């Protein structure tokens, strides 16, 4: 895997997400990349470069942030960095299979897609998932209770939807921590 290519992707998303503050920012993509690399270490059959690029670029055309079509931002970066059409299509198909809301219950076809989906979902769990939930809610005018609902609608379901063995292991403590958080939140907000 080419270190310069990965650095270029990191630099590209740093510029792309400048000013984003609702949990979908460059730091999120860097954490997804780190999670994905950790999982990929335990999946010897996977293409590391594809996993790395798909993880770093997975939100580059997120419809909540960008008004692009056909993975325009991801494709622009990949073309500028000499990645061929076949590999670019593969990376974009992975990116498009990762989103939770658009792929409810659907498992990505490739091993690389399974890894990146797990990596993205892990970043919606645990302490960082809690922080992101309320950062997003605050920016979009959602009351705290709306954030709590989001745990029940999405975040608490993720543990049982992990694709890889390592993803499942990494999800365990994050899931437990969210449960503890909710217990505390409920006890502090319940009026006797």
In this structure, the number of other CB atoms found within 10 A of the CB of residue 8 comes to: 16
Near Ni ion by CB under 5 A, which window of 3-11, 56-64, 81-89, 162-170? 56-64
- Token look-up 């590999």 returns 87
Interface residue with Ni ion, options 43, 59, 61, 112 (CB under 5 A):
59
CB of 100 to Ni ion, least distance (A): 9
Sign of the CA dihedral 127, 128, 129, 132?
positive
**Whose Cβ is closer to Ni ion: residue 43's or residue 59's?**
59
Spatial CA neighbour of 158 closest among 146, 148, 170, 144: 170
> Do the beta carbons of residue 126 and residue 177 sit within 8 Å?
yes
* CB-based closest residue to Ni ion: 120
> Is 28 buried (19+), middle (13-18) or exposed (0-12) by CB count in 10 A?
buried
**Whose Cβ is closer to Ni ion: residue 102's or residue 184's?**
102
Near Ni ion by CB under 5 A, which window of 2-10, 44-52, 115-123, 131-139? 115-123
Near Ni ion by CB under 5 A, which window of 35-43, 88-96, 112-120, 147-155? 112-120
CB of 113 to Ni ion, least distance (A): 14
Number of residues that bind Ni ion (CB under 5 A): 2
Interface residue with Ni ion, options 43, 112, 118, 120 (CB under 5 A):
120
CA distances from 139 to 42, 122, 124 (A): 37, 22, 17
Near Ni ion by CB under 5 A, which window of 2-10, 87-95, 119-127, 149-157? 119-127
Residues contributing to the site for Ni ion (CB under 5 A): 59, 120
């Amino acid at each position: 895997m080419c270190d310069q290519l990965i650095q270029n992707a990191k630099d590209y998303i740093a510029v792309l997400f400048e000013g984003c503050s609702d949990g979908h920012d460059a730091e999120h993509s860097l954490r997804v990349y780190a999670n994905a690399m950790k999982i990929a270490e335990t999946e010897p059959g996977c293409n590391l470069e594809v996993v790395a690029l798909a993880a770093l670029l997975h939100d580059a055309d997120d419809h909540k942030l960008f008004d692009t079509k056909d993975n325009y931002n991801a494709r622009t970066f990949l073309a500028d960095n000499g990645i061929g059409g076949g590999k670019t299509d593969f990376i974009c198909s992975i990116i498009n299979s990762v989103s939770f809301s658009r792929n409810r219950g659907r498992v990505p076809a490739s091993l690389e897609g399974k890894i990146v989906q797990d990596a993205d979902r892990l970043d919606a769990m645990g302490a960082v998932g809690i922080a992101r939930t309320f950062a997003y809610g605050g920016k979009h005018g959602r009351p705290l209770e709306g954030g709590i609902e989001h745990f029940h609608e999405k975040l608490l379901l993720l543990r049982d939807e992990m694709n890889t063995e390592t993803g499942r292991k990494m999800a365990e403590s994050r899931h437990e921590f969210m449960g503890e958080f909710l217990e505390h939140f409920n006890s502090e907000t319940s009026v006797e």
